[in-house]
Structure 1
Amino acid sequence: MNPARTLIVDLPGPDLTPEEGLFLARYGFGGVCLFARNISTPERTARLVRDIRDALGRDVLIATDQEGGAVLRRLDSPQPPTPMGLGALRDPAAAFEAGAVAARGLLELGINWNYAPSLDVNVNPENPVIGERSFGANPALVAELGVAWALGSEAAGVLSSVKHFPGHGDTHVDSHLGLPTVDKSRAALEACEWLPFRAAVRAGVGSVMTAHILYPALDPLHPATLSHTVLTGLLRDEWGYSGVVVTDAMDMRAISDRYPRGIGAPLTLMAGADAVLSCGHGDLTPHVEHLVALERALAGETLSEERLHEALERLDAAASRFPGAARPYSSGQKQTDEAQVRAWARGSVTRQGAVPRLSRDAEVLLLAPEQPGIGGPYGDSLGGEALAAALRAHFPHLRHALHGDTDTAAARALLTAYPDATVLLATTTRWELTPAQHELAALIAQRGGLHLALWNPEHARALPLPALVTYGYRSAHLAAVAHALQTGEAPGRSPLAVPEVV
C-alpha cells in the first residue's frame, strides 16, 4: 500500500513539465487539484489532465473548485451561478441543474472531482470567507439547495465534495490566515450548521471536505480536520457516512502554523480522513514532506495499515464511480446552459428599497472601485473600467469615475459636473467597505442614487441607499442588473438573515 495515494497535490502551472511528470510517477500520488494558474485554454488544460493521468498510471481523481459566482477556476464555459443567487431563486430544480452545468464544464476537460458546493450556513454577516458562497442563512434552505446542487453534479458525472464540515458559516477568522473557533453548543450546531451536512449524508453525496476550525464543544484540542471525535465519532459512527472525507488545503495557516512540514497528514488520516489536500502553490516540496510524515507514522505504527487500507479503498471506489474520461460538451448544450445561466441571474436580482427605472438614453454616473483586492479562495475580481464598459453597452450615455480606498476626488468632480444625472454606486468588493465607499454613499444619499451590490450582499444593508443585489459580478450578473435597471424587474428574495431589531 502506497500512502502517497492518499495525497491530492497541486502543480505549478498550466503544463506538466517532464520533471513534474517524473515527480508524479515516482511517488504515485492519489490525484491532483487544479487551481486558476493551471487552467488555460480548453485544449491545453485537457492535455494537462491527460498528462497527469499518464504520469500516475491509472484512473485518478482530478479536482478543482468550481463553486459558481466568485469561486470559479474555469471561466470559458457556462459559469454556474453564485450559490446565494440560487438561494434568492429558492428553486431546488435550478440548484440541481446548476450543479450539472458546473460538472459538464469540468468533465469536458477530464476533471472528475469538484470541491463544491459549500453547505455552510451564512449566519454571520462578518464572516470573511464564506458570504455569497453559501446558499443563505436558513439551514433548511441551504440543505435543500446544496444537496440538490451536489446531486446534480454527480448525476452529470463529477464527484461532489460538500464543505466545510462541520460548518464554516459562523466564523470571524479566515482559516487561510488563522484558526477560527466556533464556540457553540452541540445542540446549537445540530440545529443550524449540521442540518445541511446531515442531509448530504442521508442523500449519499460522494465526499465531504473538512473545516480547519476548532469546535470546543466537540473537541477542545483539535481542529475538525484533525479530530477523531468529529470525523470518526460524529461523521462516521454517529451519522453513518461511508463516502470519501477530504481535507481542506493543509497549507492554510489554521493547520500549517501549528502542524508544519506535513505532520498534519498522518494526524488527519488517524482522525478519519481519506484524502489529504497538499498545496505548495508552485513548490513541490510540501508534497514530499506530507509523504515522509505518513511513512514515519506507518513505521512507528501510530497510523495503522488498516486505516490506510480503508482510506485507499474509498478513494478507489470514488475513482471507479466517477471515471475521468473526458466527456464532450456539445455546442448546443453549451448554448442551452448559457441561456439558463442568464435566466438564473435575472431571476436572482433582489431589490432593496425603491429602485428607479432608467431608460436606455438616461444620463448615468457610475462610481466604482478601481480594482478590488482578492484573497482566500478568490482568484479574480471586477475592476471599475470593466464594469463601466459592461454597463455602457446598455446605457450609452454612462460616465464613470473610479476611486481607491480613500481617494474620492474624481468621483466628487463627476458628481459636481453632472448634478442632475442618476448616480450608481457600485460595490464590487468582497471585504469590508472602504472609507471612500462610505463617504460616497453619504453624498449620494443627499441627492438621490442607487447602490449596485455586485459581490457582497451584506454591503446593501450597510449603506444608506436603495439597492439592487446581484450576488455576483460575472457577465450574466452585469447583464441582469442592467435589465433590472431598465425594466424594474428584480424578483429575487433575499436569502440573508433578517436583522434583529434592537
Structure 2
Amino acid sequence: MTRPEATLIIDLPGADLTPQDARWLRDHPVGGVCLFARNITTPQRTARLTADIRDALGRDALIATDQEGGAVLRRLDVPPPPTPQALGELGEEAAAFHAGQIAARGLLELGINWNFAPSLDVNVDPLNPVIGERSFGPDPQRVAQLGVAWAQGSEAAGVLSAVKHYPGHGDTRVDSHEDLPVVDKTRAALEAAEWVPFRAAAQAGLGSVMTAHILYPQLDPARPATLSRTLLDGVLRGEWGYGGVIVTDAMDMGAIARRWPQGRAAGLALAAGADAVLVCGHGDRAVTDAHVRALRAAQTDGTVPGERLHEALGRLHAAGARFPGQPSPYPAPQRQADDAALLDWARRALRVQGRGPHLDPGATTLLLAPSGTALGGPYGDVVTLDDLHASLRPHLPALVTADLLDPAATSRVLNAHPQAPVLLASTGRWGVTAQARALAPTVIGRAWHLCLWNPDDAHALTLPAVVTHGFRPPNLQALAEVLATR
C-alpha cells in the first residue's frame, strides 16, 4: 500500500539533522521538508543539512523555504530580493523575472529546490494584516504580469515556485495564521480581481500553487479553499486546466487547526485536490505524528482514494525530477551583478513625498525610531534603530539617536537639540506607532517621516515622507543617499 505520509511536507527543529530526525524521516518517508530561518545558518552547515535530508528521503526530495523578498526572507547572507510591492512600483516585467532568479540563486546554492513564493494576492485591502508589501499591488493585471514573471525567473534558475495564496488573501483583515478569514464575495467579483493572477499562473504552467485557508461562502459555504473540492479540483484543475502541484498552506495555522485538530484536515485537503500537505510543528514532532496518523486513517476509510493518492505522488515525483536541487555555486561576479541590480531598483522605487528640512552632514540630525517592533505571521526579522544608525551614519556623521519607545529618552534628545532636523522612522508592518503619532505635531517643519516597511504609513502623519518599500541593505543605502542630498 502506498504510504500517504509521502504527501507531507514537514519542518525540522534546528540547523542540523539529528540522528533522531534522520531516523524519523527514514521511517516516515515524507515528500519533503520546509526550512525556516532557524534551520538556515552558515552556507556550509545548511548545505550539509539539505544533503542529509536527501540521504534520508531520496534524491528527488523537495526542500522548501519562503524566500519571497522584502520582509519575508529566510536566507539573509545573499542578495535580498526586493518587496513585491517595490517591483510593482517599478512595473517592469524584466525586473520581476530577474528578482525571481536572484531569489532562486541564493536557495539553489544550498540545495533548496522549492520556494513558497511569490505572493499573487491582489492587495485589495491595504489594511490586510498579512499581505501588504508582499503583494505586487492593487491592480490584478499588474500582479498577474509581474508575479508570473517572478515565478518564471525562479524556475528558469532551477527552483520550483509556489504562487500563493489561491484563490486570494488580499481582501480580509483576519490573519489565517490566527483564525479563519471569510471573504463573502461573488464569483464574478473574484474573477475580476483575486482570480486574475492565479488564472494567469495556471495558464503559464507554473510548477506549484499554494492554497489559502480562507472560506469563500458563495462558492463553498462549508470548507475553506484548502479543503474545498469546488475551488481545487473544480476551478483550478477542471476549469483552468492546471496540472502542477497544489500544496496547502501550513495546516497547523489557526484557521485550520482550531476547527480540524489532530491533523484531521490533511485527508480532506488531499481529497479536495491538494497534492502536498504542509505541516509545521515548529519542533513539536507530535504535530507531525498526528498528521501521519490522520492521513493513514483517511487512506483506510476511503476519504483519500488510492487513485487520488497516486496522482498526488506522481506530481510530487515529477516536480522533484524537474527541479532536482543539485547545489549550484553562486559566483562572486554574479552576486555583484545582482547586488547592483537590487540597488538600482531600490533607488528607483524610493519615493519622496513633500518637502522636508535640509540635512547638513556636518550638523546634528536626530534619528528617532523604535528599538524593535512586533512581528507575527510570516515575518521573522525587522529593521532596528541600530541598523538605521549604522546605515545613515556614513552620510550623516553627526547623527544622534533615541528609542521612540522610550518617551523620556526621546524628550531628552529633542530638548537638547531644539533646532536640529528630525528623522522620525516607522519600521513595522502594523502601522505608525502611538509614540510617532503623538510626536509628529511637535516636529512639523523640521522632520522627515521615514517609512521603511509599510508605504501606507506615509499618509498617517502630516509630515513629508520618504518611502523606501523595504528595509534591506539596498533600501537603506538608497535612503541614505537621498537624505544626503536633501
Q: TM-score, normalised by structure 1?
A: 0.95
Contact 2:181-2:255 at 8 Å conserved across structures: yes
Deviation beyond 4 Å, 4+ runs, structure 1: none
Match of 1:452, SS state, is strand
Structure 1: how far apart are the matches of 2:322 and 2:432?
Answer: 45
Kept after mapping to 2: 8 A contact 1:88/1:350: no
| 3-state DSSP of counterpart to 1:62 | strand
Residue deviations 1:376-395 (CA, integer Å, cap 9, x gap): 10111111122122211211
Residue 204 (structure 1) shift: 1.0
SS, match of residue 484 in structure 2: helix
Partner of 2:436: 437
Aligned residue for 2:422, secondary structure, equals strand
One-letter code aligned to 2:479:
V
Structure 2 unaligned spans of 5+: none
| 2:357–2:421 contact (8 Å) kept in structure 1 | no
SS in 2 for 1:208: strand
Query: Hey, what does 2:420 align to over in structure 1?
Result: 421
Name the amino acid aligned to 1:449: A
Q: Give 3-state SS (helix, strand or coil) of 1:168's partner.
A: coil
Instruction: State how far apart, in whole Å, the 2-side matches of 1:243 and 1:39 are.
Output: 27
Match of 1:474 among 472, 479, 483: 472
For 1:334 and 1:19, how far apart are their aligned partners in 2?
Answer: 37
What is the DSSP-based 3-state SS (H/G/I as helix, E as strand, rest coil) of the residue aligned with 1:116?
coil
- Output the CA distance in 1 between the equivalents of 2:426 and 2:22: 43
CA contact (8 A) 1:69 1:473 kept: yes
Q: Which residue of 2 aligns with 1:449?
A: 447
**Preserved contact between residue 356 and residue 464 of structure 2 (Cα < 8 Å):** yes
- 2:42 is aligned to 41
> Per-residue deviation at 1:268?
0.2
Match of 1:379 in 2: 380
Residue equivalent to 2:7: 6
Could you tell me how far apart the structure 1 residues matched to 2:471 and 2:90 are? 17
Q: TM-score, normalised by structure 2?
A: 0.98
Distance in 2 separating the partners of 1:157 and 1:487: 41
- The corresponding residue for 1:484 is 482
SS of the residue corresponding to residue 304 of structure 2 reads: coil
What secondary structure is seen at the aligned counterpart in 1 of 2:328? coil
Measured on the aligned residues, the alpha-carbon RMSD in Å equals 1.2
Q: Is the 8 A contact 1:25 1:57 kept in 2?
A: no
**How far did residue 90 of structure 1 move?**
1.1
Q: Does 1:459 align with 2:457?
A: yes
Give the whole-Å Cα distance in 2 for the aligned partners of 1:484 and 1:145: 27
8 A contact 1:166–1:211 mirrored in 2: yes
Deviations 1:5-29 (A, max 9, x none): 1000000000000111000011101
Q: What pairs with 1:58-457 in structure 2 (closer than 5 Å)? A: 58-356=59-357, 358-404=359-405, 407-445=406-444, 447-457=445-455
Q: Which residue of 2 aligns with 1:494?
A: none
Q: CA deviation at 1:372?
A: 1.0
Question: Could you give the per-residue CA deviations for residues 112-139 of structure 1, whole angstroms, max 9, x where no partner exists?
Answer: 0000000111121211111101111111
1:182-202 Cα distance to aligned partner (Å, 9 max, x none): 111111111111111111111
Q: Cα deviations across residues 301-335 of structure 1 (Å, max 9, x unaligned)?
A: 12100100110111111111111111111111111
Separation of aligned partners in 2, 1:363 and 1:375: 35
- Structure 2 residue identity aligned to 1:6: T
Structure 1 residues not aligned, in runs of 5+: 489-502
Is the 1:452–1:467 Cα contact (8 Å) retained in structure 2? yes
Amino-acid identity (%): 62
CA deviation profile, 1:249-287 (whole Å, cap 9, x unmatched): 011000000011111100000011000001100111222
Amino acid at match of 2:270: L
- State the alpha-carbon separation in 2 of the partners of residues 160 and 35 from structure 1: 16
Instruction: Quote the offset at 1:432 in angstroms.
Output: 3.2
